[in-house]
Chains A and B, each alone.
Chain A
Amino acid sequence: MALLPALLGAALVAAPLVSLVLMAVSGGSDALSTLAGSVLPDALRQTALLLGGVALLAGTIGAATAWLVTAYRFPGSRVLSWLLPLPMAVPTYVTALVYVELLDAAGPVRTALRQAFGRQVSDGWFPEVRSLPGCILLLSFVLYPYVFVALRASFLGREPSIAAAARVHGASPLRTFRHVALPLARPALAAGVTLVLLEALNDIGASEYLGVRTLTVSAYTAWLERGDLVGATQIACSALAVVALILLVEAASRERSGFAASAAATARHEPAPLDGWAAGSATLACAAPIAIGFVVPCAFLVREILRRDLVRTMSPAFPAQIGYTLAFAGAATLVVILWSVAIGIAGRSRPTRLARAFGGLAGFGYAVPGTVLVLGLLPVFMGADGLLSGAITAVSGYEPGLLLIGSGAGIVLAYTIRFMRIGTGAVAAQFAQIPVEVEHVARTLGARPRALARQIQLPLLRPAVAGAALLVFVDALKELPATLLLRPLNVETLATLVYGANSRGLFEDGALAALLIVLAGLGPVIWLTRATRVRATAPGDRPARAPQAALRADPSSATLKAASV
């Protein structure tokens, strides 16, 4: 019985993956589809280059800015440390659309350059934004906050005393960073970079728009543009292999490191003041990523909203569409949280290896790109729908049609699979902070499991659960591929509105919906930043709050995910 919630979760995630593999091998024994055969080599190459580039660039930006705002004091450093995570709130497809508008050959920037310097001078050297390097650059400026958040928490948590010792012994700040702080923070860096990699692989909106044919994009177009389902599933399986590889490397890097669970901070951190040139450069270095990743896209959206008067001319259906968006995301959040708590509490009473394995599998859904997930889910949903409506018809004679997809439950289930790990990760991390003796004492005093859950476990979990709920909600709000392909008739969400406006060649008309998605995403980012700061100002003397707990207990990708958007 204790295994049941985890088992169900694992089955839910496994079903689409199994169906995907079955479809991929359905062509026969030697059957790599011609399409997959011709597309795969290039897709693998582009995926590798994209992931490598984004890991390097986002890793560098995240690590450098995290170190700067933690170790030094310079004009604006406090404010900047608050603002640096903001780009996380902008969906990658929005960033890509905005920068293509701005930097494309016919966009305002290059037009101005051309007018000022002539065509030869301006167009010769200006890099094409719709390209692999362009995609690496844009994704990095959206995704670096994953690294920033992980590293900042890590630097704040354990760096001061050790780094201070290094400084006392005469190491320069740069040397301290390279030889002390960064190696100590390696697990956090690995966790942050892993998230960046998974997000980059999952991305379809930005990559496709920028003309980068990753595995995810190739699987999508093979299926929907070229009608090759088997080829598409074969490409999708290669994407799954990449996911598995990323997770393995991350796990291995964590095992090699002896510091993962090391010392909590013992001293308050004292940033070293900078002045003159150094201070100016530091301010600039931290302000630039915020400007590129957040301010420019938001300013563009606001400008388009005003210029096109989108608020006043809003479609009468818009409020209802916001309602659908909220309902789907809300329902998914509720399911994820209830389920995660059930898995957590059940595993608490009997923490077997099997329970952990199921829990791990339930979390794998987060790493599966949304497009790939839909490919595997459709047959599963249809099978389930067939059984379900067959049973209903047999009992009542009523013919209910397609329940899962027709009702929108399909979308909620897809979100649940995608984002379950956020919930299970947060619950597991929070439980890891609570000595199991607490429950033992309660049990000794005669508390039955239900009372134990209600009076002890649930209250203890509340902060973690609140944070995770916020994160699931916003991720669900942004989700595009599954929503697009699984929504019922007459239903649009904010994300599909942005997509629809863009596929009409009128992306600017979707600016209001895009800005609402960004604004909704700000909530969790602010929550996250605050939670990280609480840890910095009061180390050790306060019960751990959710994201710190998540980061401290197990800085694996998914628990970090629990602490980020």
Chain B
Amino acid sequence: MAEVSKIVRAAFAAGILLAGARTATAAEVVNVYTNREPGQYSATLDEFTKATGIKVNAIFSEQGLAERIAAEGEKSPADVLITVDIGRLQQAIDLGVAQPIRSAAVDAAVPRNLHDADDLWTALSMRARTIYTSKERVPETALTYEGLADPKWKGKVCTRSFQHPYNTALTAAFLVKHGEAKTKAWLEGVKANLAKKPSGGDRDVAKDIAAGICDVGLGNSYYVGLMTNGKNEDQKRWAAAVRPVLPTFENGGTQVNISGAVIAKHAPNRANAEKLLAYMVSPEAQHVFADVNYEYPVRAGVAVNPLIAAFGTLKPDPMKLSDVAKARKRASELVDEVGFDR
């Protein structure tokens, strides 16, 4: 049994780890802390290793990575933190775990507005906060975020928790756009329209629309691609039932969030971290973001996947991402104040 011997070997390997031996630093490595889904990423990372000979060590967790780097302090093995949502990137910077990136390759590939002013973070890809609508029951193809509070949707709106970073960022953007009073009224209006208590993830919104529980709901653009072309037959059905609309703010554009990276302040393999980021914004890797992850690439000249392009042309709202990041805390408090998730 090859499997059994692998298990035994791994147990031994772990035993050696436990004995205090440190993972070899002799070979070229880069240590990545990421909350991106490892399945999608492994192809990019494998290609990077093939191209450069640098081995990628990774740890995946949905939450807590920046906090862990902060706790690990000077001796942290982390080189790069790759995460989604501007709020999480800002959180990492607020925790003091980032250092300036200073990479000519990144500067050349990523537009200025998708960079931190002090180079502490860079975007690697973009995603739009779209509204999934029922193909059967919703004829409208032009929607606004403000419109979700319109009583005509009463009992027809689904969403995940508004304390989730994707919705906190949307609320923060709303706050930047309209100020506190209007944001609060909007949250109350959307809450009054909910078909069910906020729960699950963005995929569940598509699932609920497919099942007829609701007609419209918030979801990130790329999930539609992932579900349509994934292995899960149920999810294909959900995706087929929804038409994603790129909504806008009234007199504005679509709320765009990013996935991005920071280089850890005490990165032991700083040079390799820069190489990894340079690779991540290269045309090859950006194609993976576009065609495997169904995100909007940040590098000019790399085409959006046709499935996503079919939503229409993305017109990002001109607001600054750093302003959104700053408004996030207040946005999260407002969500609590109106009891959105209760």
Contacts and interface: CB of A to CB of B under 8 A. Distances in A.
Contacts of A110: 211
Contact of B61 (A104, A327, A485): A485
Interface string A94-130: 0000001000111000110010000100010000101
Contacts of B161: 211
A226 B332 contact: yes
A541 interface: no
A322 to B, nearest CB: 5
Residue of A128, A211, A227 most packed against chain B (CB within 10 A): A227
B211 to A, nearest CB: 3
Nearest to B202: A505
Interface string B74-104: 0111000000000000010011000000000
Contact of B19 (A381, A407, A484): A407
B77 A401 contact: yes
Contacts of A123: 213
Interface residues of A, number: 71
Contacts of B341: 211, 213
Interface stretch (A34-42, A244-252, A421-429): A34-42
A116 B50 CA distance: 56
Contacts of A323: 6-14
A488 B197 contact: no
Interface string B88-125: 00010011000000000000000000000000000000
A229 interface: yes
A378 B71 contact: yes
Interface string B185-203: 0000000000011111111
A211 B3 CA distance: 38
A521 B28 CA distance: 41
A437 interface: no
A105 to B, nearest CB: 4
A319 B8 CA distance: 9
Interface string B53-74: 0000111111110011001110
Interface stretch (B31-39, B249-257, B291-299, B309-317): B31-39
Contacts of A320: 6-7, 9-10, 13
A106 B208 contact: yes
Contact of B21 (A100, A221, A407, A491): A407
A217 to B, nearest CB: 11
A238 interface: no
Given A34-B333, A320-B6, A320-B10, A408 B18 contact: yes
Given A105-B208, A408-B17, 7 more contacts: A38-B333, A227-B91, A319-B6, A321-B10, A323-B7, A401-B268, A408-B18
7 contacts: A106-B208, A119-B212, A223-B64, A320-B13, A326-B7, A487-B59, A503-B37
Please provide the 5 A-B residue pairs with the shortest distance between their CB atoms, ordered closest to farther: A323-B10, A106-B211, A327-B14, A319-B6, A320-B10
Interface of A: 34-35, 38-39, 42, 100, 104-106, 110-111, 114, 119, 123, 128, 130-131, 211, 213, 221, 223-227, 229, 308, 319-324, 326-328, 330-331, 378-379, 381-382, 385-386, 389, 400-403, 405-409, 412, 484-485, 487-492, 496, 499-500, 503-506, 508
Interface of B: 3-4, 6-15, 17-23, 31, 37-39, 57-64, 67-68, 71-73, 75-77, 91, 94-95, 161, 163-165, 196-204, 207-208, 210-213, 223, 230-232, 235, 268, 329, 332-333, 336-337, 341-342
